[in-house]
Structure 1
Amino acid sequence: MLKDLAAQYYKQGYNCAESITRAGNEYYNLGLEEKAFRMTGAFGGGLQVGDICGALSGSACVISSKYIETKAHECADLRPIMLKLVRAFQTKFSSRLCAQIKAKFYSKEVACLNTVTTAAEVLEEVINEYEKDKQTK
């Protein structure tokens, strides 16, 4: 499961965004290279300032890598799946902001591990549902 891979990366010291992106790359065979992962580093900690959750940003990176072939503007899948992702994330965490999510889900024992695994579950559910819906249309 995606959440298990994300947990493994988080336990290796990667931040929320890096963990989700690395797990998504492995799980969905995205073929990302090491340099691409470094680009996600600043997303951790809510862009390092408690803003948009790194796990959500990392999830957006996975979706972009999975669905965009050349340009975002040319990807009909991007807007609808991102809308589903953001809504599902907001429903699960009652926020999209790192500082607010951290206040509820962070613990000294595991830091943001629970956020990472829950976000990975949300991402996997959204992708699975989206793919299923596409097949029935």
Structure 2
Amino acid sequence: MLYELINEGFGDKEDFNCAEKILYGANQAYNLGFSHETLKLSAGFGGGMAIGSVCGALTAAVMVLSSLYVKNNAHESTKIKALSLELFSTYRKEMGEINCGPLKARYRTEELKCRNVIATAAKVLDRIIERENGQSAPCKAVI
């Protein structure tokens, strides 16, 4: 699903940042139906919101989870907080960090840029969505 897209270089030719790769890729992998205007919302989250804070791949993953598991707003959702916490804690266990600056220092290469950082976020997101949806096939929201 999303992990395979990212691993194959999805978004490289478009010069997408980390957040864009996750949101645009998830739109394709999970059949989310986001408009171009919606997808553009991820642009400012790359590079840890340009200040090296939480990795844009993770913030975009939270956008995907919100789209799938929030009907109207966060306070009515019984899942979004727990799923977001799971995303961050699982990612931190796998990568040792969630902030862009240290992740770039540890994993970014000239050849692949941050592909491995982004692919790990995609892998964690895929696992959560597959479990929540009870299947491995891409599908629109299960709220």
Taking structure 1 as the reference length, the TM-score comes to 0.89
Deviation at 1:131, TM superposition (A): 3.8
Specify the alignment match of 2:4 in structure 1: 4
Distance in structure 1 (CA, Å) of the matches to 2:83 and 2:57: 16
Specify the alignment match of 1:43 in structure 2: 45
Distance in structure 2 (CA, Å) of the matches to 1:4 and 1:49: 28
More helix by share: 1
Deviation at 1:5, TM superposition (A): 2.2
Specify the alignment match of 1:21 in structure 2: 23
Whichever residue aligns with residue 118 of structure 1, its letter is T
Distance in structure 1 (CA, Å) of the matches to 2:13 and 2:106: 20
Comparing 79-88 with 121-130, which one deviates more in the overlay?
A: 121-130
Deviation at 1:11, TM superposition (A): 4.2
Distance in structure 2 (CA, Å) of the matches to 1:71 and 1:109: 40
Contact 2:18 2:114 in 1 (8 A): yes
Matches within 5 A, 1:102-117: 102-117=104-119
Specify the alignment match of 1:67 in structure 2: 69
Specify the alignment match of 1:135 in structure 2: none
Whichever residue aligns with residue 40 of structure 2, its letter is R
Contact 1:89 1:119 in 2 (8 A): yes
Comparing 121-130 with 109-118, which one deviates more in the overlay?
A: 121-130
Match of 1:84 among 83, 86, 89: 86
Contact 1:15 1:41 in 2 (8 A): yes
Deviation at 1:36, TM superposition (A): 1.1
Specify the alignment match of 2:33 in structure 1: 31
Question: Structure 1 vs Structure 2: percent identity of aligned residues?
Answer: 33
Residue correspondences, number = 132
Whichever residue aligns with residue 5 of structure 2, its letter is L
Contact 2:19 2:58 in 1 (8 A): yes
Match of 2:120 among 115, 118, 121: 118
Whichever residue aligns with residue 106 of structure 1, its letter is R
Contact 2:91 2:120 in 1 (8 A): no
